[in-house]
Structure 1
């Protein structure tokens, strides 16, 4: 078991015990052995060194984190297995949780959840970058190491996700997934929950979706390690790992996924709402024609023409 994943009150007990053993003259090695024997927690020498040489405050510190399952933590963990990242600046001793994405509402929701997890009175500031992206950064050494430990041992993740599975899946979907409608022959909805090289993650998502929501999905390999992935400035980039995709098995399951899991990204939800509006009122063929009045295609994606009510597009139909 990892120290970072146990509740804060238990961490405080271990922390106090470590200092008690130090006062009794035990060496780093003996302290580590004693804690492992008594609590079944393996501490590292670097952790003890940091505690002894810095004014560490576990309870009530500025950025303290209590590892208790919650909807907000589950969503944050979902994002961290997608677009989110943990970073450490050694020079500044800055332990950070970051997200950068093109959707402002996605980044704002992540900021809200991280702020709630870290007991902040206000949300972390969301900034617009020079690349027309939105970014947010939260600071907490404890949350940093907590997330790091879950990424290193996937089994530790599950006890924090199981009580709030929808939020975890939503976090992954917002990061790595797509809600897509295609009007080729007739209007059809597809939901891709995630594309990832992390096969263990996708299998777990598949299990969560079926076990908790009876949503059926299909898992497939979309790219193979070694194949050309992209060309950047004339440089050929080859994949180092296989890429897999988890998708709702059909349109009925895609609709269920949108209704039961949802998304914090308004453009994704709007696409689903427009699809439902058209499918309830028109034939599939008519809906496909109308879709192309409301959306235009850019590359592989259908982009809404503006934020007007869907009714305004249908006046001339």
Structure 2
């Protein structure tokens, strides 16, 4: 915008306009001038700028800002999409629920785009709300770029909270998933392994690592109910200020075959190894 010089009359009116609740951006638009010009004169008049939250409240009050409430469908039922979402929340996903900041979102930030797309798809199909699509360019050449998404809805977050706390050290698998059918269980396991799963090509194992031993034991029990054997071990990490981690391992022929048949990985680089490497070297697997 081309900066228009404010007249003395314009400058004298700024105080009244700003104190009436009009934003600095709205004032700049009114006078057809640059926003920085308005800020400069507000400072010279000794007016303190409103915080973002205060400005937002004034905007809502004046009708300039309309808060869109992302409503979720009534009578939501357990399905594969919900199970996948919960599986991801027990892994790489997270929920930001903050009444003070009025922030309510279900989110994921990962380096594998296909994983993000699958999570977005599950969120949309279940809650019928469009999640965001974000890209974060890495500032460090040693790190990979990040793909991120957020579904912003207090109703969706409240619904998830009915099934438990899904923070890193506290999450547990909801009973409705533990006691569900094979399809629901497999969808949960897929979400969890898309987050925390790994393939050990040297030792011919599929694994998943977590700091949450109780939650990991529940994952193992679901695998057992699907006919798979597993073990859980402590992992060694000599780095300072790190929490004890535990690794669930699947390494016998039958269990790996079942995992490949029933679950698999959304992440292509892992799925390619699963379908190409293990069948070719199946004789080396533990009977």
> Could you tell me the TM-score, scaled by structure 2's length?
0.63
Aligned residue among 108, 114, 118 for 2:117: 108
Q: How does 1:226-237 map to 2 (within 5 A)?
A: 228-229=238-239, 237=240
Cα deviation for residue 158 of structure 1 reads 1.7
Q: Which is strand-richer, 1 or 2?
A: 1
Instruction: Supply the distance in 2 between the matched residues of 1:156 and 1:265 (Cα, whole angstroms).
Output: 22
Aligned residue among 64, 72, 83 for 2:72: 64
Instruction: Supply the distance in 2 between the matched residues of 1:247 and 1:155 (Cα, whole angstroms).
Output: 19
Rg (Cα) greater in structure: 2
1:154–1:175 CA distance, 2 compared to 1 (3 A): closer
Cα deviation for residue 145 of structure 1 reads 2.9
Instruction: Supply the distance in 1 between the matched residues of 2:160 and 2:223 (Cα, whole angstroms).
Output: 22
Superposition RMSD in Å: 2.6
Higher mean C-alpha deviation, range 260-269 or range 153-162: 153-162
Q: How does 1:35-114 map to 2 (within 5 A)?
A: 62-64=70-72, 66-88=75-97, 90=99, 93-114=102-123
Q: Could you tell me which residue of structure 2 aligns to residue 199 of structure 1?
A: 213
Q: Could you tell me which residue of structure 1 aligns to residue 137 of structure 2?
A: 130
Q: Could you tell me which residue of structure 2 aligns to residue 162 of structure 1?
A: 179
1:103–1:90 CA distance, 2 compared to 1 (3 A): same
Q: How does 1:1-317 map to 2 (within 5 A)?
A: 62-64=70-72, 66-88=75-97, 90=99, 93-120=102-129, 123-131=130-138, 132-149=145-162, 150-151=164-165, 157-163=174-180, 164-182=184-202, 189-192=204-207, 194-211=208-225, 213-223=226-236, 228-229=238-239, 237-239=240-242, 241-276=243-278, 278-279=280-281
- Name the SS of the counterpart of 2:165 in structure 1: helix
1:74–1:259 CA distance, 2 compared to 1 (3 A): same
Cα deviation for residue 180 of structure 1 reads 3.1
Cα deviation for residue 85 of structure 1 reads 0.7
Structure 2's unaligned 5+ residue stretches are 1-68, 139-144
- Name the SS of the counterpart of 1:253 in structure 2: helix
- Name the SS of the counterpart of 1:107 in structure 2: helix
> Could you tell me the TM-score, scaled by structure 1's length?
0.57
Count of paired positions:
202
- Name the SS of the counterpart of 1:166 in structure 2: helix
1:134–1:249 CA distance, 2 compared to 1 (3 A): same
Structure 1's unaligned 5+ residue stretches are 1-60, 183-187, 230-236, 285-317
Cα deviation for residue 249 of structure 1 reads 3.7
1:83–1:170 CA distance, 2 compared to 1 (3 A): same
Q: Is the 8 A contact 1:111 1:136 kept in 2?
A: yes
